Structure 1
């Protein structure tokens, strides 16, 4: 029974993160933080690097989110999920990029780690860390 629940929880967490990536890729701002705790702690690649709470993260989007043509690239290249009964961890790489309004393209590869807690039967991201490797 425990193993069956962990398989279901693992798949629930995986789907939540895939939905997050889809919302991010398509620019569905209302859905991006849907699976996040309101008090989520987020480390991201752009200043100020640390966001304390979903509202702080949401408020920063217009300052750094580039205007692009069409759908952006934002997809996991490997997503590992480990879920217990009330805590889960996930990590992977994310390919991101797109085409700017002037036709120039950009692409990047970032690392992502997520910590989740199950609250009232629902998984929520409570910690998210996105980082970009520097140097070679």
Structure 2
């Protein structure tokens, strides 16, 4: 920005400088508004994911992912890699079917960065609920989502789920919030 202002000073009068700065600040303000709207839209997408999990609504979950079949998901459960929306849908359906009641999801520490038609977010997701015949689910994972705006709407195009591992034991820490 400083270099641009110096160039403006050399090429314009004081009135030109003032007009240039007003235009720049308006453009920056408009860009910030768009980014802010994008962040709000992505936050709403993650809120829809929470609701769809609670209701075990596979179709609602799948509507949050890119309409194409090219989603890439790295998960903590086998097969740990899903390279198509069809395979991811089967996994989500199986996950929901394993619950006796809601499959609850809480999201904490959601951070989103948006720029144009691409964005990313990272968060802590806490999964809980009563498993059919085998106790409860209570685990936290670190999740990074990559989003793409298609036709004015945001979709998840890539997701990476991980949990910390205790190096000494080699065991996953399913309850860590960090």
TM-score clears 0.5: yes
Matches of 1:127 and 1:93, distance apart in 2: 16
1:35 equivalenced with 2:64 (yes/no)? yes
What is the DSSP-based 3-state SS (H/G/I as helix, E as strand, rest coil) of the residue aligned with 2:60?
helix
What is the DSSP-based 3-state SS (H/G/I as helix, E as strand, rest coil) of the residue aligned with 1:68?
coil
1:101 Cα deviation (Å)?
Answer: 3.2
1:20 equivalenced with 2:49 (yes/no)? yes
Aligned residues: 136
1:130 to 161, 164, 167: 161
1:91 equivalenced with 2:122 (yes/no)? yes
TM-score (norm 2): 0.70
Gapped runs of 5+ residues in structure 1?
A: none
1:30-80 Cα distance to aligned partner (Å, 9 max, x none): 111112113111111111111011111112345555532332321102211
2:40 to 6, 11, 14: 11
Contact 1:20 1:33 in 2 (8 A): no
TM-score (norm 1): 0.89
More helix per residue:
2
Structure 1 stretches of 4+ with a deviation exceeding 4 A read 62-66
More strand per residue:
1
What is the DSSP-based 3-state SS (H/G/I as helix, E as strand, rest coil) of the residue aligned with 2:50?
helix
1:92 Cα deviation (Å)?
Answer: 0.3
Gapped runs of 5+ residues in structure 2?
A: 1-29, 167-172, 174-178
Alignment CA distance shift 1:120-1:63 (3 Å): closer
What root-mean-square deviation, in Å, do the aligned CA atoms of Structure 1 and Structure 2 show? 1.8
